[in-house]
Structure 1
Amino acid sequence: MGVAIVKRLRAILVTFMSLVTLPVFAASSPWVGDNNAAVRLISAVDAVGSAGRIDLGLEFRFAPGWHGYWRSPGEAGLPPTADWSASRNLTSAFLAFPAPERASLLGIETFAYSKAVVMPVTATLETPGVAVEAVVTVDYLACAEICVPYQAELRLALSDGVVGPSKEAARLGEFTRLVPGPLEAYGLGLQSVVVGRDGGVDKLEVRIAGGRLSNPDLILEAPSNIGGTVPVMRRDGEDTVLTLALKGGTAADLVGKPITLTLIDGETLAEISALPVEGPVGSPPDWTGLIAIALLGGLILNLMPCVLPVLSLKLLSVVGAASEGAGAVRRGFLATSAGILVSFLALAGAVIGLKAAGLSVGWGIQFQQPVFLAGMAALVTLFTASLFGWVEILLPARLAGLGGARAKNPLLDQFLTGVVATLLATPCSAPFVGTAVGFAMAGSSGETLTIFTALAVGFAAPYLLVAAVPALARLMPRPGRWMLTLRVILGFGLLGTAVWLVSVLFATAGGPAALAVAGALVVAGFALKFRLHLAAVLALVFAFLGPLALPPVAVTTRPDALWQPWSAAAVAPLVAEGRVVLVDVTADWCLTCKVNKAAVLDRGAVAAKLASGEILGLKADWTRPDPAISAFLAQHGRYGIPFNIVYGPGAPGGITLPELLTEGAVIDALSRAAAPR
């Protein structure tokens, strides 16, 4: 009797345990998570029937202010992952993603979902018509002011009964329609996907035929986590062209590499797979405007502090030629204009050659080279000696006649005056020059030659005007003994230029090289004064070659109370903390930079804000070659200095300041950058 009771109890227990382990059939699993974020698994059907495939969905919900991430989260966040390996009668489960929302915070772009989203899942059965138990482990990240990682294990069982739509079918269908599909489904066609550089910026351009897009977004998914900015749209006939700047990589990184583009424009949700090719990007340039900008920039270069010293030579030339005939005046000023034109074309050729060799280019980068600085110092020393009357070389013919001597090649003198004026102008980036040079540096060889020619014509415009109207030279005072005094005064101005060049050499190559060049120039000056021409030539040759014989040494940067060293990674964390940052890209050879510092940055309201810590100053010193600074300038479409830009909570992408600073412009930019977006 007792044994019979034990057997009956055992049978009841086995039956109960088998019931416990059977899956509970339902169209949705319970929510797993908390009040901020939770997820569940839903099904479009309440049974399998005879199907070999079923439609499931991962439904996420987020509290107000919270969000989860898309499959490519952007510059922050983590995508959700799903592991289905514990499922029964399930061979695969493909997770699809509805179109996300683009969000931007402090310049960081992300792609996310807020409130709620259902990610459709296409599940394939191992044995059609047999019950399924879907088991999935979901890992995802939910963020508000903080980010919290979540993990949830979800279970959903479907019987092999008669198939029919579940109560979750409409919910799943609503988000299935938000999954991007083929471009052709919307009556659109892909014409081309091109990558290249435009205005010094690497860009991707997508041309789409048919349809009329209104406010499209285009999300780039590419190798090595290369992303893109919000696209800029333009119409080209019946085509729509979307152009976005690349972030985290270059155009060359994407040539021939598979990429995915997600187009979002209202109800138009399309996914594009492409292999980009290299080619021209951006709208066709406005050549009329660009040439006008280059002409105006070249004209303004005549007023820059870099050029003023050598213009003293031209001033004396004008005075000396005032009493001569119109032909002599015209020939002299045309020779100077020719020197300017030839020099600018030589610079354009150097830029084209450097670009062809894959090297970085920049306006004024020759001032980073010790040999160039030493050579310019030697040349300016010769100009100084000519003004002091110690040597006939480069002395304009009519002025030499005042001292009883005559120059043998007056037109060559005038030509070389234009050459030296051009070389001394290159460390200056005047208003409009930066725009023109940026396009020239980033453009094709033909575009580079065109822009540099326009700059040359603008720079030579005052000389061309006098050549066209020689009577203007007669407005100058008549020649006389007063010119000898003026010549000495202007000679000391040029001597100051030579001293400045040697000081730049000190910052570039160190003390030994600078002292050697300075000593050689002093010897050359005395040798010229006492007509020891061979000694002068040897000293000048030594000055020119001295930097090659003496290796450069490290130059210790003096501490600056108002400015901290710049680095490429320094700005974003500071802006994330709510700081306002003023970046000054400068160099010892940039006289315009020094004018900006003396007039605006190191005095008045701007200096007070820097000293109080209200804003933080970062100085990028480009005196010596620095690839990071070159890349930073190119990123903003600039290839010369001065360059100043302000970052802050209100301007995470930066506010670019003009080449010539004013206190009002800087304070206004600082105020706009400080205001939260």
Structure 2
Amino acid sequence: MKPPRYYLWVLGFLAFLGIAFGPVVSPVSAAQSTTAQTPTTKATLVFAQDGIAPGAKTVSGALVLELEPSWKTYWRSPGEVGIPPRFDWQGSENLKVARHLWPAPDRFTAFGIENFGYETRVVFPIEFTLDAPGEPARIALNLDLLVCSDVCIPEKLSLDHELHLGNELDPASAEVISAALATIPSEETPSTVSSVRAFIDADQTELIVSLTGTQPFDEVDLFPEFGEGFAFGKPDLRLNRNGTALWARFPINTVSESAASLTLTTTDGNHGAFTLQPVRVPSAPEPPFNPAGEANGFGKVVWFALVAVLGGLILNVMPCVLPVLAIKVSSLMTSGGKDRAQIRAGLIATTFGIMLFMWLLAGVLIALKSVGISVGWGIQFQNPTFLIVLITLLVAFVGNLFGFFEISLPTGLQTSMSRAGGQSHLGDVFTGFFAAMLATPCSAPFLGTAVAFALAGSNTDIAVVFTALGLGLALPYLTLALKPGLATALPKPGPWMVWVRIAMGVLLLGTVAWLAWVMIGVAGPMATAATLIIAAVIVGLLSSARSYGRIPALLTIPVLALGLFLATSLAPSGPDPVGEEVASSNWVVFERSAIPRHVSRGHVVVVDVTADWCVTCKANKALVLDREPVKSALQADRIVAMQADWTRPNDAIARYLKANNRFGIPFNAVYGPGAPEGIILPEVLSTQSILDAIEAAKPIDLRARLKDLAEP
């Protein structure tokens, strides 16, 4: 609760008296306590008067904190990491209440996170109200303070001062108090600011504010407060051409159920410092220019497009290659005996299928992003409906490879194409489309960088990068299209094709088993069982079409609709629970706000963002994280292994990824006193990369650091 405005007038008046009559007062005793000191901090209580005047009800004073270079302490709303100073006046005598004011804070980064607080020197003005007016008092303060540099240290300082009867003013202390009052933000909107508006989206992912002034804003900064537990990231601040319109967007990094009234503290060279409650508006204020930011330069877009091509090419040899390879081989099996023109046309059609999927995916991501929904690479695997359709299609494809039924075009269409001398390449298009769809749970070197650039940029960036990504994924097909003789080297159709089809069917059956395991984590075992049963029924209907005509085949549509209804009804609808597997293993559950707390205690935190549907994540786990020597390193003393399971949608994990400019997984980072902002690891982990990051993040020698500070 903020003190009333008359308090500022009282403190200011007393401080003025101290300055105005300073030359005639006796300098016999300084109106201040003894100094409490630690290797990082000095603390002193000062008073405008070194005594209690007859009948006086209040005494004005201040707490002066002086911090060693590079050390900082925190504001009342410290941000995502940090603790505000705590004032404990127990032990005081003849003190009814002590109210302190908060100077305007500065913005600084601690452990890679935006925080608000003070460095070097800060003075808190204080009004002391006496129990018995005009009587002596004893002021005792026990101060709990968190100070941070490369590490954080909780400090406890005790201060004590006796106020006897008297009316002596201390000019030096009064001047300190007067200067401190000038740093307190006003509670009234300056006459030079005409409007302050704010908007928070329904999902509480971002805060957007706008201010309009009659004078330009100069060296402006904003500090929002929305209740305990809310933390805001670094703002995107923008001004119009003459500087009189300010627009800011804050990512909301952590949320809490204890939301309070939104307040905004503004510091500015022309308008001063002021704290107020902005007007909440139903829609986001428009920025002075394009909210997506200035367009990326042509050269930058071309560079990331080339990175995307390379990432898409490497994607062909990532752990998800087996199901994709099965489809590729299946598409080439029938090439024996065909001429080169037919083979080339089929391969180009397959390339088009890959590009078609990438364009559709880019369009969906653009649409979702435009309405404020979090987007990312592979997040469609968090959707039970997508998994149901995918599993059903794969089971049908397996049935086709095993010879239970054959997929063919309607007779009329086949006859028309035959008369026209044409040949259908719809199967090739479907092959490419399906191959690209199955590739999305994988990540690869360069892929995460390109996708992050695209999703953080404009709609054009998304379209260009995903087109380049599709070209990279389709490069093997394009290569064969340029050299169709490579495909004609396969033997002509014969009995060998049956065994190849069976082998491909077994590979895809393994993919079905993996997707079923993924779906258990996303939708639960009941929904997964219902999906597999429905898929088997559909295969049975398609296979019976040989004997009973088109009716069984037509029944597959209502059966699939029934399966979608049953599976989605059986899927859990609540928020994503933290995985029991994580809690029972050597990993602890991901909690973003706990990272800086661990780092401030000298711990090293290893973060692994994973999901059941992420093939690359599972490869990292099996080949690196669960093997020696990394496994032992993660179990070592003062090492915290923290795992975030993104199998199902989770807003906290999505915010964490977005704060690190990542829109897909795997994502691994190592934090520690030696690397408070985090060391981001490559998508494909290696033993050495993790061990090197842990070593680099380890704490410095704190005792040696404090010894250096203590030396004169």
Q: 2:45 aligns with which of 14, 17, 39?
A: 39
- In structure 1, what is the equivalent of residue 304 of structure 2? 290
Q: 1:436 aligns with which of 450, 472, 488?
A: 450
CA distance in 2, matches of 1:100, 1:625: 35
Cα offsets for 1:154-211 (capped at 9, x unmatched): 799879xxxx996779988998999999xxxxxxxxxx999999xxx9699999xxxx
Alignment of 1:508-587 (within 5 A): 508-525=522-539, 531=546, 534-535=551-552, 538=555, 542=559, 545-550=562-567, 551-552=569-570, 557-558=580-581, 560-587=584-611
Q: 1:635 aligns with which of 635, 641, 659?
A: 659
CA distance in 2, matches of 1:359, 1:101: 29
- In structure 1, what is the equivalent of residue 624 of structure 2? 600
- Whether contact under 8 Å (1:103, 1:112) holds in the other structure is no
Change (3 A) 1:615 1:165: closer
Secondary structure of the 2:445 match is: coil
CA distance in 2, matches of 1:70, 1:25: 35
- In structure 1, what is the equivalent of residue 401 of structure 2? 387
Letter paired with 1:608: S
List gaps (5 residues or longer) in structure 1.
1-22, 44-55, 87-92, 123-132, 182-191, 208-212, 251-256, 396-407
**Structure 2 length normalisation: TM-score?**
0.66
Query: Quick check: 540-549 or 602-611, which moved more?
Result: 540-549
CA distance in 1, matches of 2:106, 2:526: 61
CA distance in 2, matches of 1:523, 1:99: 66
Q: 1:476 aligns with which of 469, 489, 507?
A: 489
1:600 Cα deviation from its structure 2 partner: 0.8
Identity among equivalent positions (%) equals 33
Alignment of 1:37-436 (within 5 A): 37-42=43-48, 58=62, 60=64, 62=66, 75-78=82-85, 97=103, 102=108, 104=110, 109-114=115-120, 141=143, 143=145, 145-148=154-157, 220=223, 259-262=264-267, 278-279=286-287, 280=291, 284-285=295-296, 286-321=300-335, 323-393=337-407, 410-436=424-450
1:604 Cα deviation from its structure 2 partner: 1.9
Cα offsets for 1:319-349 (capped at 9, x unmatched): 5336533321222122112212222222223
CA distance in 2, matches of 1:301, 1:351: 20
- In structure 2, what is the equivalent of residue 655 of structure 1? 679
- In structure 2, what is the equivalent of residue 51 of structure 1? none
- Whether contact under 8 Å (1:588, 1:623) holds in the other structure is yes
1:416 Cα deviation from its structure 2 partner: 0.6
Secondary structure of the 2:661 match is: coil
- Whether contact under 8 Å (2:62, 2:177) holds in the other structure is no
Cα offsets for 1:77-135 (capped at 9, x unmatched): 238899xxx9xxxxxx9989598695846858452354x6667999xxxxxxxxxx9x9
- Whether contact under 8 Å (2:45, 2:61) holds in the other structure is no
1:315 Cα deviation from its structure 2 partner: 2.5
Letter paired with 2:392: A
1:419 Cα deviation from its structure 2 partner: 1.4
1:590 Cα deviation from its structure 2 partner: 1.7
- Whether contact under 8 Å (1:195, 1:205) holds in the other structure is yes
- Whether contact under 8 Å (1:298, 1:459) holds in the other structure is yes
- In structure 2, what is the equivalent of residue 13 of structure 1? none
Change (3 A) 1:205 1:333: farther
TM-align CA RMSD: 5.5
Secondary structure of the 1:584 match is: strand
Alignment of 1:481-496 (within 5 A): 481=494, 482-496=496-510
Letter paired with 1:32: S
Alignment of 1:5-24 (within 5 A): none
Cα offsets for 1:252-311 (capped at 9, x unmatched): xxxxx88445479xxx99869998955437665332223222222222222233353133
List gaps (5 residues or longer) in structure 2.
1-21, 38-42, 50-59, 128-134, 146-152, 187-195, 212-217, 256-261, 279-283, 410-421, 702-712
- In structure 1, what is the equivalent of residue 475 of structure 2? 461
- In structure 2, what is the equivalent of residue 127 of structure 1? none
- In structure 1, what is the equivalent of residue 9 of structure 2? none
Change (3 A) 1:576 1:539: farther
- In structure 2, what is the equivalent of residue 17 of structure 1? none
Letter paired with 1:146: E
Letter paired with 2:156: C
- Name the larger-Rg structure: 1
1:439 Cα deviation from its structure 2 partner: 3.7
CA distance in 1, matches of 2:360, 2:67: 64
1:244 Cα deviation from its structure 2 partner: 9.8
1:589 Cα deviation from its structure 2 partner: 1.8
Letter paired with 2:338: E
Change (3 A) 1:38 1:639: same
CA distance in 1, matches of 2:504, 2:313: 22
Change (3 A) 1:327 1:196: farther
1:420 Cα deviation from its structure 2 partner: 0.8
- In structure 1, what is the equivalent of residue 18 of structure 2? none
Change (3 A) 1:674 1:237: farther
Secondary structure of the 1:146 match is: strand
- In structure 1, what is the equivalent of residue 520 of structure 2? 506
Change (3 A) 1:176 1:520: closer
CA distance in 1, matches of 2:177, 2:437: 69
CA distance in 2, matches of 1:581, 1:153: 47
Query: Quick check: 553-562 or 586-595, which moved more?
Result: 553-562
CA distance in 1, matches of 2:220, 2:88: 25
1:423 Cα deviation from its structure 2 partner: 1.5
1:672 Cα deviation from its structure 2 partner: 1.8
Query: Quick check: 62-71 or 502-511, which moved more?
Result: 62-71
- Whether contact under 8 Å (1:649, 1:675) holds in the other structure is yes
CA distance in 2, matches of 1:422, 1:344: 7
Query: Quick check: 490-499 or 577-586, which moved more?
Result: 577-586
1:363 Cα deviation from its structure 2 partner: 2.4
Query: Quick check: 643-652 or 409-418, which moved more?
Result: 643-652
- Whether contact under 8 Å (2:450, 2:465) holds in the other structure is yes
- Whether contact under 8 Å (1:596, 1:661) holds in the other structure is yes
Secondary structure of the 1:391 match is: coil
Secondary structure of the 1:145 match is: strand
CA distance in 2, matches of 1:505, 1:414: 28
Query: Quick check: 650-659 or 353-362, which moved more?
Result: 353-362
